[in-house]
Amino acid sequence: MDDVRFAVLGTGGIGRRTLEVSTEKAGVTPVAACDRHGIAVDRDGLDIEELLAATEGNVASDGGAGAVKQHGELSGVAASAQARPTETPIDDVIAESDDLDAVLIALPNLEHDFIPRVAERFADAGYEGVLVDVLKRSRVIGMLDDREATLREAGITFVCGAGATPGFLTGAAALAAQSFVEVEAVEIWWGVGLKSGYRDNRGTVREDIAHLDGYDIETARELTDEEIEEIVDAHDGVLEFHDMEHADDVLLERAGICDAEDVTVGGVLDVRSDEKPTTTTVRVTGRTFDGERGTNTFELDDDTSMAANVNGPALGYLKAAVRRNRTGDYGVYGPAELMPGF
């Protein structure tokens, strides 16, 4: 397989770690990256070390009034010597898309239809290639399905929910389900430690807070950085979630693994420690062909970081999607559909 040339939309926590991980992965070369302040492009491959060093502590907020961490005169990507300021970052990446095999969308989905609208913009511009996101929300999958004909006609292969959960753990559940002829339940329980805290993981923490009792995606979007830090303080830095609206359910259903209502997702986020507050576990319970009932359990090692478990799989799914795209396989896919199926 030829080298995959890709772009990253968004250089918050997920985008930055994707760029960093890509330097250790064979067969992928980041050639463009942007945030709301600037775009960096180098068709021979970005200097990731320089880009990350220039923007360290200088990342635009994913939300909140006027909340921008900055040093020097320029904010975000624009601080890099490889970059230029722009007020139209997505349009600028689209303008470079003839040279791209894939685009990883690492933008916060704080409006339900935001990522689907971004995909539509690439299709309308005539982009032919791969789009991958790490979205979490179940309802967004339907919005992407509504645009599938447009994406297919454009020659786009879109893999949705390709991070850790959904994504890595969705794929693990799909594989574990192969032991059974009937799946009764899929239980996903995750643990994440983020010692760097809210300030360096704004989009992730904000989206997770939307799952707490009394909040939803709309109210979370309107919270200021200070209000979010007050919520974190009120929970002593440890947030616990149950019955989350994570897209694992609809992604497993569309792959034919089980009904969406049979999937539950929850977890614990500690923003003051890099140690995971609980072991990330997938449990798939079902009936085998010979009438036995059992549970297959998959655990992530506690020493693998969120960045490793989100960005490594995202790049893996990206490469798998490029292989499909090059054979003319277009449309919208979930991670479980790239695994063995029933």
Which residues, at least 6 apart from 293, have a Cβ–Cβ distance to it below 8 Å? 184, 285, 286, 287
Closest by CA to 221, choosing from 77, 114, 75, 104, is: 114
Query: CA-to-CA distance for 313 and 282, rounded, in angstroms?
Result: 16
Is 296 in a helix, a strand, or coil?
strand
Given 136, 246, 276, 319, the catalytic residue:
136
- How large is the C-alpha radius of gyration of the chain? 19
Q: Which two tokens stand for residue 302?
A: 């506690």
Cβ-contact 162, 178 below 8 angstroms: no
Query: CA-to-CA distance for 221 and 215, rounded, in angstroms?
Result: 10
275 is catalytic: no
249-253 long-range contacts (CB < 8 A, ≥24 apart) are 249/138, 250/138, 250/141, 250/142, 250/334, 251/141, 251/160, 251/161, 251/166, 251/170, 251/334, 251/335, 251/336, 251/337, 252/170, 252/173, 252/174, 252/186, 252/334, 252/336
Is 65 in a helix, a strand, or coil?
coil
Is 240 in a helix, a strand, or coil?
strand
207 is catalytic: yes
Which residues, at least 6 apart from 252, have a Cβ–Cβ distance to it below 8 Å? 170, 173, 174, 186, 258, 260, 263, 334, 336
Query: CA-to-CA distance for 163 and 310, rounded, in angstroms?
Result: 4
Given 37, 50, 112, 207, the catalytic residue:
207
Neighbours of 33 (CB within 10 A): 33
Given 49, 50, 148, 211, the catalytic residue:
211
Query: CA-to-CA distance for 121 and 220, rounded, in angstroms?
Result: 26
240 is catalytic: no
Which residues are tagged catalytic? 136, 207, 211
